[in-house]
A and B are shown apart, each in its own frame.
Chain A
Amino acid sequence: MSLDHAAKPAVSDKPKTARLAFSQHMNEVSLFLAILVLYLIFASTAPGFISFNNQVNILRDAATIGIAAWAVTLIIIAGEIDVSVGPMVAFISVSLAFLLQWGLPTPVAFVVAIAFGAFLGAISGVLRAYFDVPSFVATLGMWSALRGTALFVTDALPVSIGRNDMLDALDRSVFGIPPAAIIMLVLFAAFAFVSRKTAFGRSVFAIGGNPHAAFLSGISVSRIRVGLFAIGGAMAAISGILLVSRLGSGNATAASGLEFDVIAAVVVGGTALSGGRGSMLGTLLGVLVITLIGNGLVLLGINPFFQQVVRGLIIVIAVLANIQAIKRSLSRNKG
């Protein structure tokens, strides 16, 4: 009996959520199939696609997107977004080049660059967590300010670093595999572990799934949000360092549009933009899809402007097919 008048139905949506675990795998299986299909198509049509050298290229390109994408996956799972990745990479590459020009020892310069990236990311995080600035706006501001600063101080010219053994080593393949790819995979393992096996990682899922409930359970929602953006900045900084090792200079115009590749990879990987759901493995597959498309279209010699059209179409179709596959498996399971 109640004095309250409002109806309070006991809702249980059993069939729907019970299948989510399955559809999560559905998503990864279908992505894996998509990658196979892309391989088959490009291997039979694009000359040189299947060569060892090109596979190494694919891995190196994947590293550029992947390293940033691991952090952005967590950010998106937490229900946030980070669009500042590209300018952050460029800005850090310029900063690192200056640090080296000023004669800082290379390892110290690396640490400073990564810490600086984390600090800049944390600024967006603090704006989001403590001042309620939507993360899209906070990182959009960062996007514009970082690119602008980098261009302003360099006049859009590359900042050369001269000879640097350590940076050269970072660009020298180990048993044919570029270090960038190795770093990407090591970081992938770390992120996959953190996201599944640590209180921090699980709190990220809880915050994305229901921030109120997470707060009331005693999870430090604000601190974790700041931490996430700091990690995002640090990962972009690592990409920035690898960029310097590859180009031999800091470059304010580099990594243009990288943020869109990163977000596309995460979304293609099945992470929900609304937060609360997603996986590192999905993002890894998403990164491969995005990289393969880029690589294959270049080898096919398609007009670069038209490549963008094809890429856009493929991304939308991939996500659409993924959603349809999940829906189908849901309705089939409902029986």
Chain B
Amino acid sequence: MTAVSNLAPAHAVASLRDCTRRYPGVLALDNATFAVAAGEVRALLGKNGAGKSTLIRMLTGAEIPDTGSVTIDGVELSGSGSTRAQDSFQKGVRVVYQELSLVPGMTLAENLFLGRWPRKGGVIRYADMEAQAREAMAQLGLDLPPDRLVAGLSPAERQLLEIARAMLGRPKLIILDEPTSSLAAAEADKVMAAVTRVAAQGIAVIYVSHRMNEIRQIAHSATIMRDGRIIDTVDVKGADTREIVRLMLGSEASQAAALEDRSQPGIVLEVHDLALAPKLSSVSFSLRQGEVLGIAGLLGSGRTELLQAIMGVRPFDGGDVRIGKQSVRSAGYKDMIARGFGYTPESRKEEGIVPLLGVDENTLSTNFSGVSRNGILSSRRMAEATRKIVDRLHIKTARTDTPIGTLSGGNQQKVVIGRWVYAGSRVLLLDEPTRGVDVEAKAQIYSIIRQLAAEGRSIIFVSSEIEELPLVCDRVLVLRDGTLQDEFKSPHIDQDSLMAACISGH
């Protein structure tokens, strides 16, 4: 591995010197020294919580280091609060976040200058604005009429428009946060071409991504972070994926104890060549009874889309889903529930819970008739049925009718899983069930999943947290470039290979 020589501060557009930032209980940034030069594209890699976001916030002035200094364009950032952020902005630091911030009902030009429209006496000078917009977009190879509505743009075009917006006012450094995570491969190429154009104008680019093929195409070097520290900065050309994975993961216990495989020969679900443009091109696998099947993949690899297609929530373009010999391609969501399937969504807050209602109603909503007599809900039965689930899944709640919004994330998630246990589902599709859940609750959720499998239920466990897959899964499939690329079987599921399989290129 060839380490890139530390750039002399004179060339650096932006740099951190010995920056440390401590949050209660966490060292978010540990004595980090970092510099990026004009015209350079620097990839930034690291698992969740490695300190990438903190480093970015240091550069934008959103955070102040406890010790150390941040220098932008040769001047050290001073001040605090919003003045620091303004200072950084004026010196030319721009960030393009994953969540797009465009107004769909307004035109490209209006979005580009959102809130800062060129005007005269309160009237927007459209001709002027559109001419400027056309020029700004042309710089990135985005050739679209500026009076078109954003609503009609493809995801890649929207991302390019965001970058064009960041390019206004001659910035020095542009930070892109997983700009291609929501894009299919062909679309991602357009964004990468634009990034290359940006760098060619002498602007420094920090590119947060985990797709190694993209990084190899556009970045000169890659900085790898772990546990708040900058581990190394490597020359992308010379580094191989395994080596980068090793730097990202460190020497953590890379193999979990073998799980007791209770899966039985019966196949409960078969997926054949499932296609769903633009994310999934051909996905095939089968799920056995009593098996915990993990699906690993980067953000935007189509994990959620796959589960939703199986469940009948999202129509798919080709292929087939079968239960036994029967195709359930045209089955709707309610049919799938009736066939013993249960689905827990990725975003618990938006799609999982009804916060104002009690734990009982959030659990029992999958089958109210199970706790009714002659169509009337029985308080006693509701409390009993909920108590059973609460005890089984170790849900911490004072009462069964406590509003679920008052519970911790982990306990909310257990309720969301519990509602399918209550409904008697045989196949559970869990999309990121440990997202936003504390460590203790995570461990409990793992053991709940193992226990449910031991009872003969089959589980598909989708996760972007590589290290939890070996703890829970009998088998892990890696979703990349629209298909399942690799298969790992317990006990041969190790984090390094999994991560490498997720991030490596075509």
* Chain A positions near chain B (C-beta within 8 angstroms): 1-14, 16-18, 20-21, 197-199, 202-203, 205-206, 209-210, 212-220, 276-277
> How many residues of B are counted as interface, with CB atoms below 8 angstroms from the partner's CB atoms?
62
Q: Which residues of chain B have C-beta atoms less than 8 A from A216's C-beta?
A: 313, 333, 343-345, 351-352
B503 contacts partner chain A, Cβ-Cβ < 8 Å: yes
Flag whether B408 is at the interface (Cβ < 8 A). Answer: yes
What DSSP secondary structure best describes chain B's contact surface?
mixed
Contact A1 B377 (CB under 8 A): no
Interface of chain B residues 35 through 58 with chain A (CB within 8 A): 47-49, 52-53
A17 and B408 alpha carbons, distance in the complex (Å): 12
Q: Which of chain B's residues have a CB closer than 8 A to the CB of A219?
A: 365
B48/A217 in contact, CB under 8 A: no
A217 to B466, CA, bound (A): 28
B150 adjacent to chain A (CB < 8 Å): no
Q: Mark B52-71, 1 if CB is under 8 A from A, else 0.
A: 11000000000000000000
B354 within 8 A of A: yes
Query: B488 at interface (Cβ–Cβ under 8 A)?
Result: no
A188 and B173 alpha carbons, distance in the complex (Å): 65
Does B249 make an interface contact (CB < 8 A)? yes
Number of A-B contacts (CB under 8 A): 140
> Knowing A8-B436, A9-B436, A216-B345 touch, does A17 contact B372 (C-beta < 8 A)?
no
Closest A-B pairs by Cβ, 4 of them: A2-B48, A199-B368, A209-B354, A10-B409
User: Which residues from chain A contact B344 at a C-beta distance below 8 Å?
Assistant: 216
Determine whether the beta carbon of B178 is less than 8 Å from that of A199: no
Binding stretch for chain A, among B77-85, B274-282, B355-363? B355-363
CB of B98 closer than 8 Å to a CB of A: yes
Are A1 and B334 interface neighbours, CB within 8 A?
A: no
Interface centre among A205, A209, A220 (most CB of B within 10 A): A209
- Give the docked Cα–Cα distance between A238 and B83 (Å): 64
A–B Cβ pairs within 8 angstroms, 16 of them: A1-B466, A1-B495, A3-B464, A11-B436, A12-B409, A17-B403, A197-B377, A198-B377, A199-B372, A202-B357, A203-B368, A205-B356, A205-B361, A206-B365, A209-B357, A218-B333
| Docked CA distance A126–B355 (Å) | 27
A199-B372, A217-B419, A220-B334 known; A3+B354 contact, CB < 8 A:
no
Determine whether the beta carbon of B334 is less than 8 Å from that of A5: no
Residue of A nearest to B411 (CB): A12
- Which of chain A's residues have a CB closer than 8 A to the CB of B375? 198-199
Contact A3 B502 (CB under 8 A): yes
CA separation between A21 and B410, bound complex, in Å? 23
User: Whole-angstrom distance from the CB of A13 to the nearest CB of chain B?
Assistant: 7
Known contacts A5-B98, A21-B403, A276-B356, then 11 further A-B pairs from the complex at CB < 8 Å, ordered by chain A residue: A1-B48, A3-B298, A4-B299, A5-B53, A5-B299, A6-B98, A198-B377, A199-B377, A202-B368, A205-B361, A218-B337
**CB closest chain-A residue, reference B438:** A10
